[in-house]
Structure 1
Amino acid sequence: MTAARHAPVRIPAAHHGAPLGGQQKTFNHHIEQIARQRELLADWQQAIDAYRERHAREAVPLQRAYVALVAELVRHLDAQSSDKRLAKSERRTLSEAIAGRLTMLIDAVPDEATRAGLQEIHDRHGGSDSDAGEAEGGDMAGQECDADMDSPEDFMRRLDEQMQARKEEAERQREAHRATRRRKPGARERKAREAAAQATQSVREIYRKLASQLHPDRETDPAERERKTALMQRVNQAYAANRLLDLLQLQLEIEQITPDHIAGLSEERLAHYNRVLAEQLKELQQEVREVQGHFLREFGLDPARSLKPANLMRELRAHLQIIEYENLQLRRELNALRADPAALKGWIQAERQQRKARHGDMDPWS
């Protein structure tokens, strides 16, 4: 295999002693940025695969243990909720604690029978929200009463005004659409369209040259036909995705062109190439964002955080420590409540204090 097949798609820093032109510098910049984005995309995919594997192996069992412990705690609290020694306010706090924990827990329970049993407990203790609901309903009722105070004539008048406003807005949008269709493109728009067409033509020309040399149907040797078939598949994929860089790399690989050929391209032709490369770079950047965003949503991580692939394992280790700590605390709570029934009042008091001080709970499910 010759060195030309390994030559990168890049214009040398100085071609025959001449400094690089503006389009040549832009061409090299696009090539570098595309390479970085491809490397970043590969890093994300590799890091996500490793994160997903370890999450399934270590985090999921810890999360299941958390679910079981909370369910066990809730059942114990439910059994103690009818204790006559509890004051009315304490029972209310206890019911709120039970219902609140079950609201977050029920959907995470895989067993249907267990889920149904926990739902019954939730329904028994979920009445604490009824007062707020009644108050909210009362406010809404008041608003409805205010609306009903208008006369039928006023109501119809407002309705007619709304309908007329909607008609006028719809007509305005239709007129704007018609005006857009009638408008002739300006010089700048025409120039942009011509540049896009020329860039597309440049990519098509490279594709035709590659297809002409690599078409496997014209090859009689079986081994060479197989090689060209594989290369032609890469050509078709690159052309379908408008990946100019890949097409140029294939031209270098089969020695259809040399690095000197790219360095000798005119500024006008390079401008066409740069337009396509800029689009390819933009698509790669969007792909990186989509991969990152999908990962963050999959594991419930904060989308506003700036994460790097190299930091994912550190994030997971911290997450595992949080769940382990939560499970340890739950076991301690259960053991203390079971060992001493009188500890329930202290638990309720601590729950009240936590509700006052707490601004947000840690989510153990991401």
Structure 2
Amino acid sequence: MTNDNKLVRIALSGPNAKPLSKAQKEFNRLSARVAELEKLLTDYQSSVDAVQQRIQADYIPLLTAYNQARADLVRLFDRFYDNPEATRSERRKIARLIVDMGEDLLFRHGFADLRAIVGKYSQQDLDEADDAAQQLEQMKQTAAATYGLDLDDIDFQSPDELMAYIEQQVRERQAEQERRNARTEQSKSNQQQADEAKQAAKLQQTTKTIRTLYRELVKAYHPDRELDEAEKGRKTAIMQQVTEAYEKGDLMALLRLQLTLNELDQARVNTLADEPLRHYNKLLKQQIDRLTDELTERQQYMASLLGRPLTSVQSTFGLEVSIGEAVNSLKRDVKAIKQQLKSLTQPAFLKAWLQAYYG
């Protein structure tokens, strides 16, 4: 039995019926929004399933080939490093390339056989005195951006001195924030406390509303006292749905079950008073927030998985386009890196490439 996306709404009953109240209109709007979000989630998940199948069939084999070619480049660079014709500058660039590319392959893509190569170059002291100053300056710029510190006029003599200064500033900021928090807590007004108590009371009433609906359904459909095996099976299935909806705090699912199972007829829905409706509306808003968050989380996951901006994967069409573009882009990358690998096997070409390399 399914009642997915069944719309629960309040309708005017009879030609002389009073116009819907504000709470009733809000209930209808929220109910429609819940049904819309549930359909969006269902459709989006279907597209996600299709995209994941294509990732397994098309994208992952390409990614494996791409990373294998990158690993071959690391091995090529390692061999060139020992070439007697390699200059000091070329070796320095080669070592950095090996560490940067090798660590990514080792730690993110599981190329354990590169551990010895990466370890050999990561343990070397590749920076001379002139590089140390540049490294310290880069650390200053990173720290300034990360912690919002003005470090331009401070002359640090070593990375340790820089880190000690940053730690001191961070401790001072934390201490100041703690003092502010303490003052904020002390200055909390009686009105704020009253508002919190009011919100707690509303939450308790909301929970009571859900519990009441749940108990009505349990009373009607609990299978324990049912003697007929077929009916007992039907009620067991119903109770699974009821329990799942109750544990999620899903008001709309409980209302749909009541309507579908004739425990809540349409006339009763139409005559719901504004006071209980306000509690219903609060629950529906919470459900809308949960559904919106769930949809956003799935979209963010797919954006991260495909390496695409969030805006490009927020629709089912966008997902299909994105996986197609990702596969085609990776095909081009695989072709390019294999061509590059073939060319770099020639020492003269590799030396020319290193000369143009900015690292």
What range is the shorter-chain TM-score in?
A: 0.7 to 0.9
Quote the Cα distance in structure 1 between the aligned partners of 2:229 and 2:7. 30
Structure 1 segment 86-101 matched on structure 2, within 5 A: 86-101=86-101
Which residue in the other structure is 1:11 paired with?
10
Tell me which of the two structures has the higher relative contact order, counting C-alpha pairs closer than 8 angstroms and 6 or more residues apart: 1
Q: CA deviation at 1:87?
A: 4.5
* Counterpart selection for 2:349 from 334, 343, 346: 343
The count of residues paired between Structure 1 and Structure 2 equals: 332
Q: Is the 8 A contact 1:81 1:94 kept in 2?
A: yes
* Counterpart selection for 2:255 from 248, 256, 261: 248
Q: Partner of 2:263: helix, strand, or coil?
A: coil
Cα 1:100–1:186 change in 2 (3 A) is: closer
Which residue in the other structure is 1:332 paired with?
339
Q: Is the 8 A contact 1:103 1:122 kept in 2?
A: no
Which residue in the other structure is 1:362 paired with?
none
Max Rg structure: 1
For residue 346 of structure 1, what is the amino acid of its counterpart? Answer: A
Q: Is the 8 A contact 2:92 2:126 kept in 1?
A: no
Q: CA deviation at 1:31?
A: 0.8
1:4-45 residue CA offsets vs partner (Å, 9 max, x unmatched): 999741123x33233322111111111111111111222232
Quote the Cα distance in structure 2 between the aligned partners of 1:137 and 1:7. 63
Quote the Cα distance in structure 1 between the aligned partners of 2:328 and 2:5. 47
Quote the Cα distance in structure 2 between the aligned partners of 1:54 and 1:236. 36
Q: CA deviation at 1:330?
A: 1.9
Structure 1 segment 264-303 matched on structure 2, within 5 A: 264-298=271-305, 301-302=308-309
Cα 1:241–1:73 change in 2 (3 A) is: closer
Q: Is the 8 A contact 2:252 2:284 kept in 1?
A: yes
Q: Is the 8 A contact 2:26 2:281 kept in 1?
A: yes
Q: CA deviation at 1:128?
A: 4.8
* Counterpart selection for 1:235 from 235, 242, 255: 242
Q: CA deviation at 1:193?
A: 4.4
Q: Is the 8 A contact 2:156 2:162 kept in 1?
A: no
Quote the Cα distance in structure 2 between the aligned partners of 1:260 and 1:63. 59
Q: Is the 8 A contact 1:207 1:235 kept in 2?
A: yes
Which residue in the other structure is 1:132 paired with?
131
- Misfit runs of 4+, over 6 Å: 4-7, 143-148, 168-172, 184-187
Q: Which moved more, 1:22-31 or 1:279-288?
A: 279-288
For residue 279 of structure 1, what is the amino acid of its counterpart? Answer: Q
Quote the Cα distance in structure 2 between the aligned partners of 1:99 and 1:170. 41
Q: Partner of 1:10: helix, strand, or coil?
A: coil
Quote the Cα distance in structure 2 between the aligned partners of 1:197 and 1:145. 55
For residue 100 of structure 1, what is the amino acid of its counterpart? Answer: D
Which residue in the other structure is 1:204 paired with?
211
Q: Is the 8 A contact 1:296 1:303 kept in 2?
A: yes
Quote the Cα distance in structure 2 between the aligned partners of 1:131 and 1:221. 87
Quote the Cα distance in structure 2 between the aligned partners of 1:5 and 1:124. 59
Stretches of structure 1 lacking an aligned partner (at least 5 in a row): 149-157, 356-366
Q: CA deviation at 1:98?
A: 3.8
Cα 1:145–1:45 change in 2 (3 A) is: closer
Which residue in the other structure is 1:37 paired with?
37
Q: CA deviation at 1:197?
A: 3.6
Q: Partner of 1:15: helix, strand, or coil?
A: coil
Which residue in the other structure is 2:144 paired with?
none
| Structure 2 residue 324 is the aligned partner of structure 1 residue 317 | yes
Quote the Cα distance in structure 1 between the aligned partners of 2:50 and 2:68. 27
Which residue in the other structure is 1:116 paired with?
115
Q: CA deviation at 1:142?
A: 5.2
Quote the Cα distance in structure 2 between the aligned partners of 1:348 and 1:5. 61
Q: Which moved more, 1:14-23 or 1:132-141?
A: 132-141
Quote the Cα distance in structure 2 between the aligned partners of 1:126 and 1:102. 17
Cα 1:137–1:310 change in 2 (3 A) is: closer
Which residue in the other structure is 2:229 paired with?
222
Stretches of structure 2 lacking an aligned partner (at least 5 in a row): 138-154
| Structure 2 residue 111 is the aligned partner of structure 1 residue 104 | no
For residue 299 of structure 2, what is the amino acid of its counterpart? Answer: Q
Q: CA deviation at 1:276?
A: 1.5
Q: CA deviation at 1:125?
A: 7.5
Cα 1:24–1:127 change in 2 (3 A) is: same
For residue 35 of structure 1, what is the amino acid of its counterpart? Answer: A
* C-alpha RMSD of matched pairs (Å): 3.9
Q: Partner of 2:335: helix, strand, or coil?
A: helix
Cα 1:193–1:126 change in 2 (3 A) is: same
Cα 1:133–1:47 change in 2 (3 A) is: farther
